[in-house]
Structure 1
Amino acid sequence: MEELVERVARFAEDERLFRGARRVVAGVSGGPDSLALMVVLQALASRFRFELVVAHFDHQLRPDSREDLEFVRRVAAERGLKCVTGEGDVAARARETRRGIEEVARELRYQFLGFVAQRERADTVAVGHTADDQAETVLLRIVRGTGIRGLRGMVPVAPLPGAPALRLVRPLLVLRRAETLAVCQAAGLEARRDPSNESLAFARNRIRRMLLPALRELNPAIERALTGLARSAAEAFEELERLALAARPAERSPEGVIFGLDALRRLPTESLLLVLEREAAYLQQPVASNATRLENARRVLQCGQGEVSFGGLVLEASCGLVRLGPAVQPLHFTPTVLEVPGVTPLGPVRVAVRTEPGPDGWVALDRGRVRGVLRARPLLPGDRIVVRGVRKKVSDWLTEQRVPRWTRRRTVAVADAEGVVALLGCPPSCNPPPATDDCLYLRLERSTG
């Protein structure tokens, strides 16, 4: 057993699993892998200077599951370790949420481990995934479809699901399942047996009991090949992460994050996905990705225009720019005569008009050009505006000024009896320069009511 403990210790040092850890919570189900985790971590606790706490979650999926809980309590007590236990009706939760048993069990288990870690003031949670689990995970992801990130399998260190401030570590990724059994035997522990591990109703068990045996006929060292693939993928993914990190936005606001088109167009697809996830987290928007959406995003970036929805996040390209953010809806309001001077509400926005120059952001409108009353209204197809004596289509003019489509949706046209005389919500340069100092000054503002 000493050689196995030392192998885990070297792995922990290489991956810095316990860097800064003061207290570690070990998830222990009572099976051989988790019992080996408990034994190995207890052997390493003084070396890495952390306290060990055992946690057991009863999923209530078997009539005798309570016996597992009592077993873990007893074994932890015999070894002088604190043990915290909890339980949850996984089957009931799965029915209520219409999700799979495996998914719900994992969610509730990690919620419990996070709760225990916070209660015990631990900064690290350890689970007993082995090299065999890693091989199964990689193969399962290949079957379901994945990229380089998925081929990494389970990483040694990750944020704890549901509690990202806590670290989730997997110290036993360097041990095989037969070796965890050897650790248990050396410690005098007889592990509990979970019959659900034999059930072919679960995809992972079908991988373990059907697909892997078939692959061993082609390659007796298939598990080593799959874990080697995971390590190679992890190395390749580091470069993808670096490229994503180097893609910095030109502007960030609650409405969206703006990139230059080339900054995203040249990224590999998986780096692009990392950028989407990073900015979605900044905007606090949900992001839902799949192969089709990513392929559509690449097309949009290549042609420089269009949009793709990723759930709560939209990728939109226009005029050499890319916006990531929630969907921008057009302004809807009734055409309204402006108060001159004064403030005119237009639903979610308002137009302020003054007769004296204001600070930056106010559009100067030559009084001598105004014919009749001024009205604020949405832009219409075919609208035209006079710029330096030339009448142009507003859409063409905004394209010349490189005003992206998301800005145009929020643009308010100010029109007199002859047509559009000002564009509010666009950069001031989109408006004709006044010919005299006798001007009105206009600004589009967000309504405060």
Structure 2
Amino acid sequence: MSKKISLENYFQQSVTENNLLATGEKILIAVSGGPDSVALTLLMESIKNKGGIKLAVFHLDHQIRKDSFKDMEFVRDLCNQYAIDFYSEKRDVQAYAKKSKRSIQDAARKIRYDLLETTAKRINADKIATAHQSNDQIETFFLRLLRGASLSGLQSIPLRRNNIVRPILEFSKKQILDYLNSKGQRYLTDPSNIKPVYFRNRVRNELLPVLEELNPAYLSVLSKNISLINEEEKFIKKLAADTCSKLLKKQNDIVDIDLQDFSNLERTLKRRVLREAIFSIKGDLLRIEYKHIETVLKNYKQFGFTLELPSNILIYRDYKSLKLGPGDAFKPQKIRKSIVEVGKKISLKPDSSYFESSLVKKCKSSSLAVCLDYDKIKPPLVIRSRKAGDRFKPLGAKGTKKLQDFMVDKKIPKFSRDSIILVEDREKILWVAGYEIDERAKIENGTKKMLQLRIR
């Protein structure tokens, strides 16, 4: 049996077993003119009649090279040879890359997929077929690994995602080249694929040959490991999804994460919850890096912690929760003025936290719990939001300071300043909740009674 028939039978079997195509469907094939996409076109043509499918081809003229139009002409001629409908678009990829601050390869990928989707809708194609093969799988794995991807980022390229299928993903580069040679089929070689300026090219041309020298079966070994990663990831993803369904509360454009429940999670699940929360707001995780997630995990217990993520996504830690949302979705929420009665609780709407005060013999302090010298306080005590002209004497300060200046120095976001609880007596602000007490009410050696103020 010839290699051609063997590979075409293998292709037919793979498509059937993986349920990639269905009878009567129209498939739009992404074809650059390189060996992978040309082989995919020929293999799809070989099963067209038996599978009862219709074919069309799309080509992007990226204009990166002056002679890129020749690629389009080659693909057009290939389609004419097999009577396949041909569609092509021309775009200035370099200009788009510069404008969108993307790499050339990322910009080309974004434009290509956008145009594939647009063309598929226009011609009523049921699916889009791309020519990723097993070597691409390994290259992508190392690219992501070297860039610090998480476990989820190390997953393999899927055989199918929504309407996109990758029918030759299980084939090696060698199988593809042998197949084309057996057919006597010409293909194009993009000179940019050997330039070391692209990170992927360095992985392909420098790293992988070393791995092959160390272990000729590296493709098979790594493919199995990637499959194991997929299985592990699938389990963790299900666990994370169940956790997120209970933990994430979305109202308008803001996602709320209960701090106590979040704190009880394993660190791995905390990362997943944060990523899912960001995704639910942003719609993707582009430019969200490991350092962003780790910064949140390091600082989320600190009241007032704020982090601005790419695409104007804000993370803010208030009294009882972590809040995530677009920066302009955070609105000032003033505290309702209330008289404090020692031993009684005051509900702090709109969340479920509350303010309480009590006389104590031992003091346990934190950012949300402080103790004051009760005899230095001039009742009644009141909680309220800030107002113009507020001043207080921060602990250790020699004189008073404008509250506005204090908040600026502490880098408290403008949207949250009205939400900061102030506790005052008849004469002075006693506590800027979450930040500082007043010097004039501090505990000293001669203190006889201690008043604890706490937000829960």
Q: Calculate the TM-score normalised by the size of structure 1.
A: 0.68
CA distance in 2, matches of 1:285, 1:156: 23
Comparing 169-178 with 18-27, which one deviates more in the overlay?
18-27
Matched residue SS, 1:171: coil
Shift of 1:127: 0.9
2:294 alignment partner in structure 1: 295
Is the Cα–Cα contact under 8 Å of residues 159 and 167 in structure 2 kept in the other structure?
A: yes
Question: What aligned pairs does 1:5-404 form with structure 2 within 5 A after superposition?
Answer: 5-18=8-21, 22-46=25-49, 48-159=51-162, 167-246=163-242, 247-248=244-245, 249=247, 251-261=249-259, 263-265=261-263, 272=270, 275-280=273-278, 282-283=280-281, 288-300=287-299, 306-311=305-310, 312-318=312-318, 321-327=321-327, 329=330, 331=332, 385-387=339-341, 398-400=354-356
Change (3 A) 1:400 1:42: farther
1:163 alignment partner in structure 2: none
Is the Cα–Cα contact under 8 Å of residues 345 and 355 in structure 2 kept in the other structure?
A: no
Change (3 A) 1:266 1:28: farther
Q: What amino acid sits opposite 1:25 in the alignment?
A: L
Matched residue SS, 1:173: coil
Q: Deviations over 1:137-179 (max 9, x none)?
A: 11122222212122224222235xxxxxxx2221111111111
Shift of 1:28: 0.8
Shift of 1:295: 1.3
Query: What runs of 5+ residues in structure 2 fail to find an aligned partner?
Result: 358-367, 369-411, 428-456
Q: What amino acid sits opposite 1:220 in the alignment?
A: P
CA distance in 2, matches of 1:45, 1:410: 66
Is the Cα–Cα contact under 8 Å of residues 244 and 267 in structure 1 kept in the other structure?
A: no
CA distance in 2, matches of 1:384, 1:74: 80
Q: What amino acid sits opposite 1:254 in the alignment?
A: N
Is the Cα–Cα contact under 8 Å of residues 143 and 203 in structure 2 kept in the other structure?
A: yes
Matched residue SS, 1:122: coil
Shift of 1:130: 0.9
Matched residue SS, 1:57: strand
Q: What amino acid sits opposite 1:398 in the alignment?
A: Y
Shift of 1:314: 3.5
Q: What amino acid sits opposite 2:33 in the alignment?
A: G
Is the Cα–Cα contact under 8 Å of residues 61 and 91 in structure 1 kept in the other structure?
A: yes
CA distance in 2, matches of 1:304, 1:269: 19
Shift of 1:55: 0.9
Shift of 1:305: 7.8
Q: What amino acid sits opposite 1:17 in the alignment?
A: L
Aligned length: 363
CA distance in 2, matches of 1:73, 1:391: 76
RMSD of Structure 2 on Structure 1 (CA): 4.0
Matched residue SS, 2:32: coil
Q: What amino acid sits opposite 1:212 in the alignment?
A: L
Q: Calculate the TM-score normalised by the size of structure 2.
A: 0.67
Q: What amino acid sits opposite 1:325 in the alignment?
A: G
Comparing 197-206 with 286-295, which one deviates more in the overlay?
286-295
Q: What amino acid sits opposite 2:291 in the alignment?
A: T
Q: What amino acid sits opposite 1:251 in the alignment?
A: K
CA distance in 2, matches of 1:270, 1:255: 26
Q: What amino acid sits opposite 2:237 in the alignment?
A: E
Q: Deviations over 1:272-302 (max 9, x none)?
A: 5554454445445775521122112223457
Is the Cα–Cα contact under 8 Å of residues 342 and 356 in structure 2 kept in the other structure?
A: no
Q: What amino acid sits opposite 2:294 in the alignment?
A: E
Q: What amino acid sits opposite 1:386 in the alignment?
A: V
Matched residue SS, 1:137: helix
Shift of 1:308: 3.9
2:445 alignment partner in structure 1: none
Shift of 1:413: 9.3
